[in-house]
């Protein structure tokens, strides 16, 4: 019997199993099913239901609906009904398929890309056009009924595919004239639990009613036979007073400001509504929304509110000479006792991630602040007694903070360690407010020193690659100058996971690793994270270690319509694509923009570095925490990556996961 010929040694592609056929292109809604966590929250199905609810709210926000009804059915499905315009069901001019089908089966198909007067929605939470198509992909069944123009159209899907084709019939007498009803059966296999968290759902529905005074929101639970309805005529202040913990020191400060058509920097209608209460005790209530989407992780609109409140209170205190000698007021002193509900309207919101928990649009800081500051200044000067009470509250917070900082300083002063000469320290001694940036390279260190906030930001430049300290004995650590300098600057000695180090000497509340956005920068980041995890684990445990994310690209966009020429920074290729898409939608001619790529931090001017990476209101800063593994498992993983005798384990890892990585060499 003849044996099959052996593969020649040179043909390694077959043996490694990686060839042209290994590359898989995910089509339609496959990417969502493969990686649901990229598109939605997978702990429960609430977020995919919220996507449908947001669409109904966007109709009301555009002035086309007054009622939203959510029903929890006994079979585990959820339906959302609105009286908006109804999704169009005619054929799409280019795609030659019913529009309603495209909305539910295609990623990046929606009516919310073209903002402004020409689009179907001036303001909306919808941004990426992936919302309800994600709901569809992760549902066992989804039914849509859309009423408009004297007809009703129905179709049904399963796992994102059409299973009942579009059926259109004329409306009968007595049937509602317009609106959309969507009923979804979430597929339990994509979620940790199939049950909806009732507390979160009712809070979400109530907040929609608050943000849209005059729109009624109803929740019907078929299992318990309960019906709840929310309709707020008084809007934000009503809601804040109902949820507030403790009595306000001064009456509520509420207001609203929106750009008109003559505004230079903002589109017509952009702006914010707010209600703010100051209390002496109790947990502050803080809720913010962008185009009715709840932003539970805050973002730049909240930074704008903080900036506006602080600037107004500070100028009132200066005008009336109320600040005692030696007291320095910081934004947090004014903001610490503030409870608020903030609802911002932003024409083209940029969110962090698909689930839109945090707003990233840099312009939102200026937008909100520019309306809040003058309104509060005017209000305080009209009610001087209330102004004095608020000033008292802020000054008291500043004095408490400074006293706490001084206590720590006395204990630290007895140490004999001399601070490293290359450390450019900050002026403040308040540990909770101070930050140190460990910066790769002297040139970047120079820009950082010039661009930083001298009051609270310190810079420690590092020369070259830091030592891999995974297998270095603790008593040999200080033989390395860089590591010695880091330890002395931070004010905490190296320790193990089971030690109880003296943290009273800690000099900075945030220790931020700042390296280039390239492979070398990532390497330095890994070496520093290894150092902190191995020899300063309590700093990570206490949440003091952060990684700063500088942008990789800058796009210089020409003036368009009302918008002046601007610089937009993009963190990575994905954000760059989104930025260019947005410019095209704004009508900018292809190629009229210019794209610069930062080779490293050293190329950035002090001003650019401040705006993108150092400014607390607009930077991206990620806290370092243990991920899905506990301490011991994380230790095992890092040993695999950083241990001297682990080359075989690393090779195996590379062979297994190489396809997941985009390397930019």
Structural domains present in the chain: 30-229 (3.30.565.10), 235-406 (3.30.230.10)
Residue 556 bridge partners (DSSP)? 567, 594
pLDDT digits (tens, 9 = 90+) for 283-302: 999 999 988 888 888 999 99
**What SS3 string covers 467-480?**
CCCCCCCHHHHHHC
Predicted confidence at residue 127, as pLDDT, reads 41
Neighbours of 241 (CB within 10 A): 14
363 is catalytic: no
Average pLDDT over residues 384-413: 77
127 labeled part of a ligand binding site: yes
Residue 12: is its pLDDT beyond 70? no
Residue 257 bridge partners (DSSP)? 272
356 labeled part of a ligand binding site: yes
Q: One of 59, 440, 575, 617 is an active-site residue; which one?
A: 440
518 is catalytic: yes
Distance (Å, whole) CA 664 – CA 550: 15
pLDDT band at residue 72 using 50, 70 and 90 as cut-offs: very high
Residue 15: is its pLDDT beyond 90? no
Select from 425, 431, 428, 410 the least CA-distant residue to 509. 431
82 labeled part of a ligand binding site: yes
58 is catalytic: no
273 is catalytic: no
Residue 140's Cβ-side half-sphere holds a number of Cα atoms within 13 Å equal to: 11
301 labeled part of a ligand binding site: no
pLDDT digits (tens, 9 = 90+) for 619-639: 889 999 987 788 888 888 888
Task: Kindly report whether the global pTM for this prediction surpasses the value 0.75.
Answer: no
Q: One of 54, 101, 273, 516 is an active-site residue; which one?
A: 516
Q: One of 520, 572, 586, 646 is an active-site residue; which one?
A: 520
Residue whose structure tokens are 């095992």: 636
Least confident of 283-287, 356-360, 362-366: 356-360
Residue 507: is its pLDDT beyond 70? yes
pLDDT digits (tens, 9 = 90+) for 544-577: 999 999 998 999 988 877 677 888 888 888 889 8
383 labeled part of a ligand binding site: no
Contacts of 313 (CB under 8 A, 6+ apart): 329, 334, 376, 380, 390, 391, 394
128 labeled part of a ligand binding site: yes
126 labeled part of a ligand binding site: yes
pLDDT digits (tens, 9 = 90+) for 244-286: 988 899 999 999 999 988 887 888 889 999 999 999 888 999 9
Distance (Å, whole) CA 252 – CA 563: 34
Angle of helix 631-642 versus helix 519-535 axis, rounded to 10: 130
Q: 70-79, 261-270, 415-424: which has the highest mean pLDDT?
A: 70-79
Distance (Å, whole) CA 494 – CA 469: 12
Q: One of 149, 268, 518, 572 is an active-site residue; which one?
A: 518
Predicted confidence at residue 408, as pLDDT, reads 38
């Amino acid at each position: 019997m003849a044996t099959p010929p052996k593969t020649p040694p040179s043909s390694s592609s077959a043996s490694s199993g990686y060839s042209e056929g290994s590359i898989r292109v995910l089509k339609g809604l496959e990417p969502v099913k493969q990686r649901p966590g990229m598109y939605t929250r997978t702990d429960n199905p609430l977020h995919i239901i919220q996507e449908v609810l947001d669409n109904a709210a966007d109709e009301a926000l555009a002035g086309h609906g007054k009622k939203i009804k959510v029903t929890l059915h006994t079979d585990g499905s959820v339906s959302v009904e609105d009286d908006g315009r109804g999704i169009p069901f005619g054929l799409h001019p280019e795609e030659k398929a019913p529009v309603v089908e495209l909305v539910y089966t295609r990623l990046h198909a929606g009516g919310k890309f073209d903002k402004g007067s020409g689009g179907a929605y001036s303001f909306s939470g919808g941004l990426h056009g992936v919302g309800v198509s994600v709901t569809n992909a992760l549902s066992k069944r989804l039914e849509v009924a859309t009423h408009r123009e004297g007809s009703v159209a129905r179709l049904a899907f399963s796992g994102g595919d059409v299973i009942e084709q579009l059926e259109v019939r004329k409306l009968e007498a007595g049937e509602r004239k317009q609106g959309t009803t969507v009923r979804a059966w979430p597929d339990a296999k994509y979620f940790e639990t199939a049950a909806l968290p009732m507390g979160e759902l009712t809070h979400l529905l109530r907040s929609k009613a608050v943000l849209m005074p005059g729109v009624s929101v109803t929740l019907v639970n078929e299992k318990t036979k309960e019906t709840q309805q929310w309709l707020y005529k008084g809007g934000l202040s009503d809601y804040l007073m109902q949820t507030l913990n403790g009595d306000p020191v001064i009456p509520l400060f509420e207001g609203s400001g929106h750009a008109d058509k003559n505004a230079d920097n903002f589109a017509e209608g952009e702006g914010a509504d707010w209600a703010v209460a100051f209390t002496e005790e109790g947990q502050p209530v803080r809720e913010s929304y962008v185009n009715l989407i709840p932003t539970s992780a805050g973002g730049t609109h909240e930074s704008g509110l903080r900036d506006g409140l602080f600037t107004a209170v500070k100028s009132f205190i200066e005008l009336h000479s109320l600040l005692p000698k030696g007291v320095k007021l910081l934004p947090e002193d004014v903001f610490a006792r503030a409870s608020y509900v903030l609802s911002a309207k932003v024409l083209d919101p940029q969110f962090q991630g698909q689930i839109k928990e945090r707003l990233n649009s840099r312009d939102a800081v200026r937008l909100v602040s520019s309306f809040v500051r003058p309104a509060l200044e005017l209000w305080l000067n009209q009610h001087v007694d209330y102004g004095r009470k608020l000033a008292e509250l802020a000054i008291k917070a500043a004095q408490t903070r400074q006293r706490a900082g001084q206590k720590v300083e006395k204990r630290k002063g007895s140490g004999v360690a001399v601070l490293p000469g290359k450390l450019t320290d900050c002026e403040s001694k308040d540990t909770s407010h101070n930050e140190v940036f460990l910066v790769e390279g002297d040139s970047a260190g120079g820009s950082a020193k010039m661009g930083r906030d001298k009051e609270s930001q310190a810079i420690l430049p590092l020369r070259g690659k830091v030592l891999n300290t995974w297998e270095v004995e603790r008593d040999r650590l200080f033989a390395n100058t860089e590591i010695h300098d880091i330890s002395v600057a931070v004010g905490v000695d190296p320790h193990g996971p089971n030690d109880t180090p003296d943290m009273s000497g800690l000099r900075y509340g945030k220790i931020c690793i700042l390296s280039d956005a390239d492979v070398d920068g990532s390497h330095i980041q890994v070496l520093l994270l290894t150092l902190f995890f191995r020899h300063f684990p309590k700093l990570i445990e206490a949440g003091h270690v952060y990684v700063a994310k500088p942008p990789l690209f800058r796009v210089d966009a020409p003036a368009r319509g009302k918008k002046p020429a601007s610089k937009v920074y993009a963190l990575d290729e994905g954000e760059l694509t989104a930025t260019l898409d947005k410019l095209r939608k704004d009508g900018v001619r292809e190629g009229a923009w210019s794209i610069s790529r930062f080779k490293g931090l050293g190329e950035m001017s002090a001003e650019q570095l401040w705006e993108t990476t150092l400014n607390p209101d607009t930077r991206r800063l990620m806290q370092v925490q243990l991920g899905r593994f506990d301490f011991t498992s994380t230790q095992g993983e890092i040993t695999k990556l950083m241990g001297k005798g682990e080359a075989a384990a690393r090779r195996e890892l590379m062979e297994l996961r190489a396809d997941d990585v985009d390397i930019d060499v």
